[in-house]
Amino acid sequence: MKEEHGEVMRFLLHFRERYQTEEDYRRFLVGAMRELVRDLREFDVFISLQPEFLGRPRAMARAAGSKADSL
């Protein structure tokens, strides 16, 4: 894991100790990001998240020929 994070991730990392497993913490992160995406729409900021069921990181998708590049 990288040592330097952006402001939002640094904030979210403070919640890590509340979760017993990485899986639980990851579920928290996904929920928090979904809420953030909805909240940002009020400010005309639109973010697209890759659905988890696609299961491929963006770099792998590019290598497979995908032209989509989203956040």
d(C-alpha 25, C-alpha 56), whole Å: 20
pLDDT averaged per 10 residues, the chain (length 71): 87 97 95 94 90 62 51 48
* pLDDT score at 50: 76
CA atoms within 13 A on the CB side of 32: 14
Give the whole-angstrom CA distance, residue 42 versus residue 61.
Answer: 30
Domain map (residue ranges) of the chain: 7-63
What DSSP line would sit under 17-71, residue for residue? GG-SSHHHHHHHHHHHHHHHHHHHGGGT-------GGG---HHHHHHTT------
pLDDT the model gives residue 45: 96
Q: What confidence score (pLDDT) does residue 3 get?
A: 79
pTM of the model: 0.65
